[in-house]
Amino acid sequence: MTRTRLEVWLVRPQMPGPGDTPLALAELDHAERRQADRFVHLGDRLRYLSARIALRRVLARHTGTTPGRVRFRRVPCTRCGGPHGRPELADYPPPVRFSLSHRHGLVVIAVASTAVGADVQRASGGDTVDACLPAVHPTERAELQGLPESARPNAFVRLWARKEAYLKGTGAGLVHGAAADYLGVGAPGRPRGWTVIDLDLAGDRAYAAAVAVRSEEIGPVELRERSASFLHEEAPAE
């Protein structure tokens, strides 16, 4: 069986300093700039812009075009058929599939030749775990409750990243319900037909990240990390 190739990019944006070159805003389209303008807080706006620039630059490498020429569309919703399903490339049919997730100082982009979902979560506290426990699968709930209280937050955030990655990959999103599928520690490679993996963030305990791929056989994950300079107008050539 041919193994599915999975490429994951980790980009760490930062607030630009006085001597930094500007972000590559010219690569974004009108809809992205309009969405950025809706953010009230500067930090939120910069995080959104950074994620979109990173996505365009990654996909440009896979499509042989420039970041500014990458075009997106929405697939039909899996529930109602409306034009608000998961995003895909408009001008390049499969096998280039992608998923984007970002939280504060980390952007995660997964690219594969089949359906893929990526998610990154920031570490949560015990109160968040207690509030969300009723929403997860009963077996997952039992596993979390069986852990020492101090270990539950880290275990929960890893579980939640797996769930969101899988639901983004299927296109269903959280409207499908977080309790429908088991993605706990005893489910490597499940649900059937999918591989769900935790990403190794090199000891960074502030985040948990996961990727789900619609394939039962994937090759070694090609992990590529980039600094904030990747997002600027004069990004270093590779």
Q: Which residue range is the domain that position 108 belongs to?
A: 6-231
Predicted confidence (pLDDT) per residue in 140-152, tens digit = 999 999 999 889 9
Q: What pLDDT, on a 0 to 100 scale, did the predictor assign at position 212?
A: 95
- What mean pLDDT is predicted for residues 208-219? 92
In a domain, 236, yes or no: no
In a domain, 1, yes or no: no
Instruction: Look at residue 230 and tell me whether its pLDDT is greater than 90.
Output: yes
Instruction: Look at residue 136 and tell me whether its pLDDT is greater than 70.
Output: yes
In a domain, 237, yes or no: no
The total of structural domains in the chain comes to 1
- What mean pLDDT is predicted for residues 195-210? 85
In a domain, 47, yes or no: yes
Q: What pLDDT, on a 0 to 100 scale, did the predictor assign at position 62?
A: 93
Instruction: Look at residue 23 and tell me whether its pLDDT is greater than 80.
Output: yes
Which pLDDT band holds residue 116 (cuts at 50, 70, 90)? very high
In a domain, 238, yes or no: no
In a domain, 201, yes or no: yes
Instruction: Give this prediction's pTM.
Output: 0.91
In a domain, 153, yes or no: yes
Count other C-beta atoms under 10 Å from residue 162's C-beta. Answer: 27
The enclosing domain of 133 has a CATH number of: 3.90.470.20
Q: What pLDDT, on a 0 to 100 scale, did the predictor assign at position 237?
A: 47
